[in-house]
Structure 1
Amino acid sequence: CCSKGSVPVGRLWRRHAITDDPARTGFELSGGAAWTTLEQEQQFLQALDATSERLSVTEAGRTAQGRPLQVVAVGASAPADAAAVARGSSVLFTCTQHGDEPSGREACLSLARDLATTTDAATLELLRRTTVLFVPTVNPDGVAANTRQNSQGVDVNRDHLLLRTAEAQLIARLQRDLRPDVVHDLHEYGPTPGTYDRDLIALWPRNRNLDVRVHDLSRELTEQEVLPAVEAGGNSTGIYGYYYDAAGDVVAQQAGDGQERILRNTAGLRHSLGILVEASNAPADALEEANPALLNRRRVDTQVTAARATLGTVAEQRAQIADATAASAIRSALERGPVSFAGADNALPSPDQVDLDPPCGYRLSAQQAADAAGTLALQGIRTEIQPDGSVLVPAAQEARDLVHLLLDERAQEELTAGEPVDCA
């Protein structure tokens, strides 16, 4: 994937008109020669918050080193409260989970500004019906140190199930409280010349426990909307984890599995469409090698194009997406289906990794419950205190899959091994 071709009219979310004197990022002011510093980001967001009636900036936590974790919300007017956002349509962009991958952060900052200042009628209609949320810098400690991990040495994008870090906890709270219909996660990668070297690669959630419609719409968003939009802009695309030969055929898969701890998968398990996008951080030609600003601008431009394609899809398919995400949550609370503890949509688990008749819940001792309480609450998992002091975690709830993937002794990312409760 994907060959260049025509894109349906309206699929490309065009660059919006902005005000005569908009706020500018450090990256923009340098012409792409330097990335926006954390101090410049604060000044930029403060200027937008002070001048735009559509945008609000909220400090929603602090890192281990005390840096602010901020959420930017853009709507027809600055969203009043979490409940109002949760009741409506929303899209969440998570930017720079890895501190040494700067292009996604730049794309999110500039896109938030463009949405907050646009005069484009179609975009204003989108904002009237959909709140667009950004965490421009998920990992500010990593940005400060230019490291993939946060200041605790943790890869934040491997912490969305157990939630040991403040950064992952923030994303979990946003998913629990704001219930975004789409989670678009922005990253970068180092290409392998000749086989794994597309300008932008992307992937949908592959965990086998996903609701079918959520999975299929996520894949359609990736393959039929985002990647074609990037190609229409003259850039090459592919599927994350796939290695290609000279003819464009897939010859191997080295990444892109169904691990539930990765955000694109966790998002799907929490009933959101999910998409991971990764821009290449290597020069595409001699001009970019000689002038890093050209490379940096392409990295950011491909991210912006992908993000706009997601917004365009939401604008056109908002009702369909909202119906699918709501139905996914309802089915989780009402149905008892098989649970897979391994595998992916393109990789069958072994029989012993699938429970065709899973427990109806798990019983935790008082100590287990106390130790697990923070994670369970952040994941939106309901618990019931029993007369003997133990705690029952019923599987019949919206977070059904997360219950099994956190509390079953067969789980890859076991939080604590609960005692299975029979359905009798």
Structure 2
Amino acid sequence: MTKPFAPVFAPYLERPGHALPSHASRWMLLASALTLAACSSTPLPEWPAASTAPRPQAPSTPASAAASTTSAPSAASVTPVAPNTRLEVLPYSAAIAALFPDPSERYSTPGLSEGRHSATTNSELAELLREISQQSLNQSPRIGLLNSGNAQSGTPIYALIATKAPAISPLALDESGRPTVMIVAGQQGTDTAATEAVLVLSKELGAGGLLAPLLDKINIIFVPRANPDGFTQGTASTADGTDLRQDHLLLQTPEARFLAKLARDYRPSVLLDAGEFNAVQPTLQRFNAVRANDMGLQYAVTPNGHEFVTKAAREWLHQPVSQTLSQAGMRVDWSFEATGPSAATGFAMGTTEPTTLRNVSSLKNVASMEASSRGSDLGRTHLQRRVHSHVKAMTTVLESAAQRAAELRQVNSFVTRDVASQACRSSLTVQAQPRMEQRDVTLIDAASAHIVQKPAAWTSGLALGAPRTRSHACGYWLSANAVQATERLGMMGVYVQRVAELSSLDVETYQSSAAATGNGTTSISLARGHMEAAPGSYYVSMNQPLAFLAAAALEPDTPYSFYSHGILSQLNETARVVALPQIVFEEE
């Protein structure tokens, strides 16, 4: 047998996120589909060879950004100008500031205007995006503005969509055959430079713009400011204090739900999460030093992430961006933050848990990466340089995706089928730990202004250890009371079906013990048994492309699961289905 799944699943696997046909009057042939999946593995194809074609040329500096009477140098040789520090006091010595000269390019947005003391406001951002979209009416490329979601205060969250498809609808972009690149900025209200960089590039999407040629190969979605309330309040968190960066599995905030539904509907192949990190504290207090790197990069690594998706993120996103920034005179490192209460605890890269935008996107089979510039605590200091680093990173991601458009489609087609074919077989990593190491971290000594190497404890986000595994279920049963859980899964694009008739299931149920695991969760064991699925309850098949994302939410004994956070209130509201079921589902 060579086919990994039955024909009834083929339309869905071709178009993840779209509904399967209804089968209310007959038995849903899940058993046959999963039998086919189980009897044939999906062998890994050969990784696409490196292309010898030249990279498409997107702007190293958009034309609208230049404000110099002399010609701009190439990206590999940025001629600095004196840093602009007139608007606020430097947070460190002038000698340290001199290590971060402004680029020769001068970028233009409302928030980057001379004499400004604040970044582009939410109202200015909305006005600029409307102006850009209106200029493209009845033209190609089409640029449309979506504001289908609001922050907690009611402030709209905007997404700008650019395409050479005949419309900006999800269906039109899907039928264009071009992969979509989604760039999200400003998950923290203090991510000033990332938002301004997206606005700079947004002006280059229209006819005659320097990004327009890339739209022959890709579609582009920009979210310039994902957390407008945080910007208004001057805080990193959302209005209710949530760290939006960690809310992409639970979807507790409307901001995270907006991003989830946007990704569900438009199904990007590439995602870049653009933000900023603290340049000064707590590094100064602990190490008598400040951060030296202009940009921190990290591609997605998370339990059950597909190896091809991780490889695409590393080779087609991280490596080109790192090279481009280095050639532009920027210091590049991994994305990391100081951890713990003392210097002895050192630094940690971003989490490997499936809670961040990059990691959740990876479980949606999207090549994903984070790019953070130094400066969330710098106000307007070095702002042109910080924006420059993001412009370089974003344009490189867009260039690389355009160059790799065909390979991205091939990888996505293979991975969606390979993930679905794992149902009822192989193993599932329920939870894993990042690797603990020692590393010399490049910093700037506060006293001498010299770039130095400081030895520190290091938590790597690039490798997983101590995995806790279980067999991969055929699916998950959810009780009729689990409405909130099914809604959250649906927002992420996980396919959930409702049981129409009483159905017999072989299951493993979760049993809680009094013992604690030490990581904030309760020890849970499994009990094999039999149950009757009542009409009105739900079934989540693992024979679907987002199977591992569903498992991350539904396996209860992790600190990030739906059960741990009360989205599933009782352990008996879910069970692992461990044998091929026959279920009749409701009409949709």
Query: In structure 2, do the counterparts of structure 1 residues 19 and 276 end up closer, same or farther at CA, with 3 Å as the change threshold?
Result: closer
Match of 1:84 in 2: 172
Compute the displacement of 1:111 (Å). Answer: 0.5
Structure 2 residue 192 is matched with structure 1 residue 36: no
Distance in 1 between residues matched to 2:539 and 2:65, nearest whole Å: 55
Higher strand share: 2
Compute the displacement of 1:135 (Å). Answer: 1.0
Larger radius of gyration: 2
Match of 1:366 in 2: 480
Q: Which moved more, 1:50-59 or 1:78-87?
A: 78-87
Q: Which moved more, 1:176-185 or 1:222-231?
A: 222-231
Distance in 2 between residues matched to 1:393 and 1:159, nearest whole Å: 22
Query: In structure 2, do the counterparts of structure 1 residues 282 and 103 end up closer, same or farther at CA, with 3 Å as the change threshold?
Result: closer
Match of 1:350 in 2: 466
Distance in 2 between residues matched to 1:379 and 1:293, nearest whole Å: 36
Compute the displacement of 1:31 (Å). Answer: 6.7
SS at match of 2:203: helix
CA offset digits 1:339-373 (Å, max 9, x no partner) = 2222257444435x122x222111111112x2312
Match of 1:3 in 2: none
Query: In structure 2, do the counterparts of structure 1 residues 213 and 70 end up closer, same or farther at CA, with 3 Å as the change threshold?
Result: same
Gaps of 5+ in 2: 1-52, 67-106, 339-344, 435-460, 502-533, 563-567, 581-588
Structure 2 residue 530 is matched with structure 1 residue 414: no
Distance in 1 between residues matched to 2:386 and 2:543, nearest whole Å: 44
Query: In structure 2, do the counterparts of structure 1 residues 327 and 253 end up closer, same or farther at CA, with 3 Å as the change threshold?
Result: farther
CA offset digits 1:214-247 (Å, max 9, x no partner) = 101101234420011111111100011289xxxx
| % same residue | 23
CA offset digits 1:173-198 (Å, max 9, x no partner) = 12111110101001100133658430
Query: In structure 2, do the counterparts of structure 1 residues 213 and 195 end up closer, same or farther at CA, with 3 Å as the change threshold?
Result: farther
Match of 1:254 in 2: 348
Distance in 2 between residues matched to 1:117 and 1:252, nearest whole Å: 49
Distance in 2 between residues matched to 1:67 and 1:26, nearest whole Å: 19
Distance in 2 between residues matched to 1:28 and 1:131, nearest whole Å: 27
Q: For residue 363 of structure 1, what is the amino acid of its counterpart?
A: W
Distance in 2 between residues matched to 1:242 and 1:215, nearest whole Å: 22
1:153-164 alignment to 2 at 5 Å?
Answer: 153-164=241-252
Structure 2 residue 543 is matched with structure 1 residue 396: yes
Distance in 1 between residues matched to 2:241 and 2:153, nearest whole Å: 12
Q: For residue 142 of structure 1, what is the amino acid of its counterpart?
A: G
Match of 1:382 in 2: 495
CA offset digits 1:247-280 (Å, max 9, x no partner) = xxxx965132311010110111101110100100
Distance in 2 between residues matched to 1:395 and 1:214, nearest whole Å: 19
Compute the displacement of 1:25 (Å). Answer: 2.3
SS at match of 1:99: coil
Structure 2 residue 191 is matched with structure 1 residue 101: yes
CA offset digits 1:75-111 (Å, max 9, x no partner) = 2367431112234311001010111111111111111
Match of 1:246 in 2: none
1:58-207 alignment to 2 at 5 Å?
Answer: 58-76=146-164, 79-87=167-175, 88-120=178-210, 123-191=211-279, 192=283, 196-207=291-302
CA offset digits 1:5-35 (Å, max 9, x no partner) = xxx9637743344599xx9621233377531
State whether residues 117 and 380 of structure 2, in contact with CA within 8 Å, keep that contact through their aligned partners in structure 1.
yes
Q: For residue 46 of structure 1, what is the amino acid of its counterpart?
A: R
Gaps of 5+ in 1: 1-7, 244-250, 284-288
Query: In structure 2, do the counterparts of structure 1 residues 391 and 44 end up closer, same or farther at CA, with 3 Å as the change threshold?
Result: same
SS at match of 1:367: coil
Distance in 1 between residues matched to 2:197 and 2:369, nearest whole Å: 16
Q: Which moved more, 1:383-392 or 1:397-406?
A: 383-392
Distance in 1 between residues matched to 2:363 and 2:61, nearest whole Å: 32
Q: For residue 114 of structure 2, what is the amino acid of its counterpart?
A: S
Match of 1:238 in 2: 333
Distance in 2 between residues matched to 1:83 and 1:18, nearest whole Å: 32
SS at match of 1:224: helix
Match of 1:226 in 2: 321
Compute the displacement of 1:160 (Å). Answer: 0.5
Query: In structure 2, do the counterparts of structure 1 residues 18 and 103 end up closer, same or farther at CA, with 3 Å as the change threshold?
Result: closer
State whether residues 148 and 157 of structure 2, in contact with CA within 8 Å, keep that contact through their aligned partners in structure 1.
yes
Query: In structure 2, do the counterparts of structure 1 residues 316 and 222 end up closer, same or farther at CA, with 3 Å as the change threshold?
Result: closer
CA RMSD of aligned residues (A): 2.7
State whether residues 202 and 222 of structure 1, in contact with CA within 8 Å, keep that contact through their aligned partners in structure 2.
no
TM-score scaled by length of structure 2:
0.63
Distance in 2 between residues matched to 1:78 and 1:102, nearest whole Å: 33
Q: For residue 469 of structure 2, what is the amino acid of its counterpart?
A: V
Q: Which moved more, 1:35-44 or 1:336-345?
A: 336-345
CA offset digits 1:130-170 (Å, max 9, x no partner) = 11101111111111111111112111111101111111111
Higher helix share: 1
Query: In structure 2, do the counterparts of structure 1 residues 46 and 11 end up closer, same or farther at CA, with 3 Å as the change threshold?
Result: closer
Structure 2 residue 414 is matched with structure 1 residue 315: no
State whether residues 57 and 73 of structure 1, in contact with CA within 8 Å, keep that contact through their aligned partners in structure 2.
yes
Compute the displacement of 1:45 (Å). Answer: 1.3
State whether residues 180 and 267 of structure 2, in contact with CA within 8 Å, keep that contact through their aligned partners in structure 1.
yes
Give the number of equivalent residue pairs. Answer: 396
Distance in 2 between residues matched to 1:210 and 1:78, nearest whole Å: 34
Distance in 2 between residues matched to 1:119 and 1:378, nearest whole Å: 34
SS at match of 1:134: strand
Which of 50, 55, 78 aligns to 1:10? It is 55
State whether residues 362 and 394 of structure 1, in contact with CA within 8 Å, keep that contact through their aligned partners in structure 2.
yes
State whether residues 32 and 294 of structure 1, in contact with CA within 8 Å, keep that contact through their aligned partners in structure 2.
no
SS at match of 2:368: strand
Q: For residue 334 of structure 1, what is the amino acid of its counterpart?
A: S
Match of 1:277 in 2: 371
Q: Which moved more, 1:92-101 or 1:221-230?
A: 221-230
Compute the displacement of 1:409 (Å). Answer: 2.0
Query: In structure 2, do the counterparts of structure 1 residues 294 and 145 end up closer, same or farther at CA, with 3 Å as the change threshold?
Result: closer
Distance in 2 between residues matched to 1:296 and 1:281, nearest whole Å: 8
Query: In structure 2, do the counterparts of structure 1 residues 384 and 38 end up closer, same or farther at CA, with 3 Å as the change threshold?
Result: closer
Match of 1:215 in 2: 310
Query: In structure 2, do the counterparts of structure 1 residues 15 and 362 end up closer, same or farther at CA, with 3 Å as the change threshold?
Result: same
SS at match of 1:260: coil
